[in-house]
């Protein structure tokens, strides 16, 4: 019960449709936080998917609710955050887990459009900024809180096949460092997780749709790139890292990037 009596908001708590048993980072984090005692608000642009996550929590004996909000819509984000604060009087944890890449038009530089740039930075960076903007006044007033932002190990990879996703995720790293130092005086912490190659519906199954290749073929190709046991991580690996950073066990940790990548970043440089 490492999050007992905590109120947690998970942005991106739904899940993209998958072809197997893989679980997304956001859903895994919501379920794990609830198991550890948190009351969880599941926010997603797909209300049906957010409700599926919240129903999984309540079926297991936890407390949760689902709200709909597009992360690029400030009014919707503000409304969702205010709804949580009015319902439970506080917000202890904010977990930002929304991001897009090729599905938003990411590509090599010569093929990138301004529309793709705006879309990817709006979802990957603006969305995180808006959530933090409306949660931080609540956390500052209560003089406590933990923010966990999901970036990507690709922010530090060289030779990435596209340019916008890693750039937006590196921007998230810098943004998180800034809010960490600007809010440290009142005990609010902010940290970033850098997932590597993960076996999630968003990462694998959407590539199946885009390429027409089999899931096993794409998964095997990704597994081979991971140093640790030549095996991708899962949403639970990201969730476990998020649990640590959100918990009081990480009470003296702020402004860091935690790789969850099977050793991929150890060979960069």
Residues annotated as part of the active site? 165
Q: Would you give the end-to-end CA distance of the chain in angstroms?
A: 39
* Residue-wise burial string across 220-255, b where 16 or more C-beta atoms lie within 10 A, e elsewhere: eebeeebeeeeebbbbebbbebbbbbbbeebeeebb
Contact 264, 157 (CB under 8 A): yes
Considering only CA atoms, which of 13, 24, 12, 50 is closest in space to residue 204? 24
Work out whether strand 7-11 and strand 93-96 pair parallel, antiparallel, or are unpaired. parallel
Work out whether strand 7-11 and strand 39-44 pair parallel, antiparallel, or are unpaired. parallel
Helices (H), 143-250: 164-182, 206-211, 215-223, 235-246
């Amino acid at each position: 019960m490492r999050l007992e009596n905590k109120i947690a908001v998970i942005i991106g708590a739904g899940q993209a449709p998958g072809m197997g048993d893989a679980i997304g980072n956001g859903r895994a984090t919501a379920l794990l936080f609830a198991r550890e005692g948190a009351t969880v608000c599941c926010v997603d642009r797909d209300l049906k998917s957010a409700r599926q996550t919240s129903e999984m929590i309540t079926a297991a004996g936890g407390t949760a609710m689902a709200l709909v909000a597009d992360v690029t819509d400030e009014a919707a984000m503000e409304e969702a955050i205010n709804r949580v604060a009015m319902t439970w009087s506080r917000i202890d944890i904010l977990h930002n887990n929304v991001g897009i890449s090729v599905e938003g038009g990411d590509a090599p530089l010569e093929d990138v459009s301004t529309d793709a740039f705006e879309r990817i930075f709006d979802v990957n960076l603006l969305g995180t900024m808006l959530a933090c903007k409306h949660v931080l006044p609540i956390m500052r007033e209560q003089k406590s809180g933990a923010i966990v932002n999901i970036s990507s190990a690709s922010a530090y990879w060289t030779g990435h096949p596209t340019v916008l996703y890693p750039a937006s995720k590196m921007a998230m790293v810098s943004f998180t460092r800034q809010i960490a130092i600007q809010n440290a005086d009142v005990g609010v912490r902010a940290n970033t997780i850098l997932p590597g190659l993960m076996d999630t519906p968003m990462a694998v199954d959407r590539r199946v749709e885009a390429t027409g290749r089999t899931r096993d073929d794409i998964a095997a190709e990704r597994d081979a790139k991971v140093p640790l046991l030549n095996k991708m991580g899962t949403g639970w690996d990201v969730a476990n890292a998020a649990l640590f950073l959100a918990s009081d066990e990480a009470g003296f940790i702020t402004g860091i990037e935690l790789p969850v990548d099977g050793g991929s970043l150890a060979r960069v440089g």
